[in-house]
Amino acid sequence: MPTPELKVFRRSELELVTDGCLWRYSKLYREGVDDASDLSLIGIGGHAVMYAYLTRLVAKGIPQDIEEAEAAFVEGIAAVQTPPRLIPEVKHVWDYFVPYYTLPVDRFVAAESKEAHGQVGFTCDLVLAHPDRNELEICDWKWGWNPPLTEDALKALFQARVYARYGMETWPGFTTYRFTLVAARFNKFVSVVFSRADLDSVDLEVAAAVATIRRCEQTGQWPAVPGPACQWCELECPAVSQVGDLPKRLLEARQAQAVASWVLAGEAQLRSAKKALKAYVAGHGPVEVNGVVFDNRPAVSRAYPLIEVVNTIHQRNAAGAFDDQPFTIPASNLKKPFKAFPELEQALAGVATEKTTYRFASKRAGDEDTDEGDD
């Protein structure tokens, strides 16, 4: 008996399942709901323009050319019929990104290459081969406001791992496989190299996503589960669409009970409102209210290894630098080492300093009144 042909799923639809929102999957891929947001239309425009540009550069054998970039812009926009209201935005990102971009023409393998392996279909925006290090590189353009991923986040990204895993099958024989994500709006390239061992579980993840779809088809249940896709999702959604009214001012003392009730619900609501706003900003750009701008900004934190700090203070005889401000470590930072080595806590008990302050907070009745803070 011939083996029945397996359905090929797009990488993006399987990614939606791995993100967890089966409601969105069902709406888009089973019911055919059109979810073409401005963000996705801008992305489609950007991809088409970039594809036209790469094709022109390869045809001429040149790494960059501003006239070709302009011609590619017109060609790409026309090819996908970007709505006129969005053309200035695509042009804005294009003009920012393209002067910095150079194509290593001698390393070009393919652009907009549609591939399929097993039950996964995927399109590679650009494929390069680097003979000097026997490496295949798959590049993917992003045109949205989402801040560039860290290397760790990119290494965990379903798209990156699927592309690298099945890139190995499509273009075998390379020593290493690299996935590069290009955040055009930030002119930032983030790149990771995968070994075969890194990608051991990809086949299983794909199989699990396909099995999840099959199971939902059997049960008819497609739950809405908030996750990464909420950033750009504009569907009517049972999970996140019910936004309650927040009180505009605090009530009087006699209504404290009512206010406390609201605080409990409000704190949870504020958390989810901030999460939703953060996701909206990542997908659509900064939001300004009365001169206050909400945006995802880089935050740099710096930490020093404790042992090095102590050794350096001793080496430099700099203990006096802390005379006015004794150098202490919050007890909360020692929770893990104390748990692993309880004798440490006993040994340090004699030098611990303790102070009690009071702060406004809520606790479940019956819980301890004191809290071990960071001071």
Residues that bind ligand SF4 (CB under 6 A): 21, 23-24, 224-226, 229-230, 233, 235, 237, 239-240
| Shortest separation between residue 162's beta carbon and ligand SF4, angstroms | 20
Question: Measured from the CB atom, is 20 or 118 closer to ligand SF4?
Answer: 20
Question: Measured from the CB atom, is 38 or 198 closer to ligand SF4?
Answer: 38
Question: Measured from the CB atom, is 193 or 237 closer to ligand SF4?
Answer: 237
> What tokens appear for 366 in the block?
């019956």
**Alpha carbons 178 and 54: distance in angstroms, whole number:** 19
- Confirm if 243 and 266 have CB atoms less than 8 A apart: no
Tell me the pairing of strands 9-10 and 135-142.
unpaired
DSSP per position, 64-128: --HHHHHHHHHHHHHHHT--GGGHHHHHHHHHHHGGG----GGGEEEEEEEEEETTEEEEEEEEE
| Shortest separation between residue 229's beta carbon and ligand SF4, angstroms | 4
Element (H, E) at 142: strand 135-142
**Alpha carbons 27 and 235: distance in angstroms, whole number:** 8
Question: Measured from the CB atom, is 15 or 125 closer to ligand SF4?
Answer: 15
**Alpha carbons 58 and 68: distance in angstroms, whole number:** 11
Q: How many beta carbons lie within 10 A of that of residue 80, not counting itself?
A: 15
| Shortest separation between residue 236's beta carbon and ligand SF4, angstroms | 8
Question: Measured from the CB atom, is 226 or 285 closer to ligand SF4?
Answer: 226
| Shortest separation between residue 235's beta carbon and ligand SF4, angstroms | 5
| Shortest separation between residue 261's beta carbon and ligand SF4, angstroms | 27
Question: Measured from the CB atom, is 23 or 73 closer to ligand SF4?
Answer: 23
DSSP 356: -
| Shortest separation between residue 21's beta carbon and ligand SF4, angstroms | 3
Question: Residue 138: is it exposed, middle or buried by C-beta count within 10 angstroms (0-12/13-18/19+)?
Answer: buried
Question: Measured from the CB atom, is 240 or 263 closer to ligand SF4?
Answer: 240
DSSP per position, 261-311: HHHHHHHHHHHHHHHHHHHHHHHH--EEETTEEE-----------HHHHHH
Question: Measured from the CB atom, is 236 or 343 closer to ligand SF4?
Answer: 236
- Amino acid making up residue 21: C
Question: Measured from the CB atom, is 14 or 136 closer to ligand SF4?
Answer: 14
- Amino acid making up residue 78: A
| Shortest separation between residue 232's beta carbon and ligand SF4, angstroms | 9
| Shortest separation between residue 145's beta carbon and ligand SF4, angstroms | 17
| Shortest separation between residue 42's beta carbon and ligand SF4, angstroms | 19
